[in-house]
Structure 1
Amino acid sequence: MKIILTVNGERHALDVEPRRVLADVLREDCRLTGTHLGCEQGVCGSCTVLVDGEAVRACLMLAVQCDGRSVRTVEGLSAPDGEPHPLQRAFSAEHALQCGFCTAGFLMVAVGALEADPTIADDPERMDGLVESNLCRCTGYEPIRRAIMRAAAEYASHARL
């Protein structure tokens, strides 16, 4: 099937098998390998991307479901000049990555949540749900939580401007 995806602001006209998942199309056809495949069952969250601003598991979503939609991957977080996104800076400052395999998924689920509602960090229950939505085998959950809270504070300060 012929589909058109806008990935990180760039239009991609692709011919894909109807059964191919978005993660494979991003990695193989768009050459964006930051979207990792872990469990391939939607459990681990390492493949999380934003589709029209909503966090989705790219291993479960068919690429044809994204025809005409906007997809944002971890490669699309930094500014055009290379300046890291506030979440990327926060992850670095809080040492919220160890092996790094889960990091892209955590960044994407967090940016989706923060862009929808920067006050998420004010609610411990919602923060628990956000951090628990993805898996980290290196047990980096507390630094990840701190990083998201740090980025949330930056989002909130910009919202007041």
Structure 2
Amino acid sequence: MPPRLLISTSLLCLGVVLTSVTAPLTANDLLQANRCQVIPLAGQQVAFQIDGIEKTRWHFGTSYPRPFFFPFRGPSGASLTRMGHPGAPNHDHHRSVWFAHAKINGHDFWSDNTQCRIRQKAWLAYHDGPDEAIMAASLAWLDPDGSELLTQELVSAILPLPNGEH
């Protein structure tokens, strides 16, 4: 079994803990959508929404070398990140927000020009709620032969803040 690396990531807030409901749910509770949601989408994507408005999207499809978040929207709704670099065609690895490293046991996971890949293996959790939306996934870091060098457990959350911030 490869070594495990726990990397907790959240959208502007770290250290979120999943909570459990201790009071029984009412019919009204079941009819109301949670304010913060993780919405599975087609094309191996998941949207993070607050009040029905997408704030970011997790892309984990195999057409990219590693998973990433795009767009990453600020309070105005404009994306704070971009895909690619407008003036440098050799910077196609600029895909908004993602995590990688150039040296893992001599393998380069940073560059798009290698056969190393980071792939989502499994969903560990989805959580929608009035105060946060959280997803947790298990990611495999694969060398060019497809051997798993390590397992990453990614936990990401979005929380509404005052003045439309998140």
TM-score (norm 2): 0.25
Structure with more helix by fraction: 1
Larger radius of gyration: 2
TM-score (norm 1): 0.26
Q: Which has the higher contact order (CA 8 A, sep 6+)?
A: 2
Structure with more strand by fraction: 2
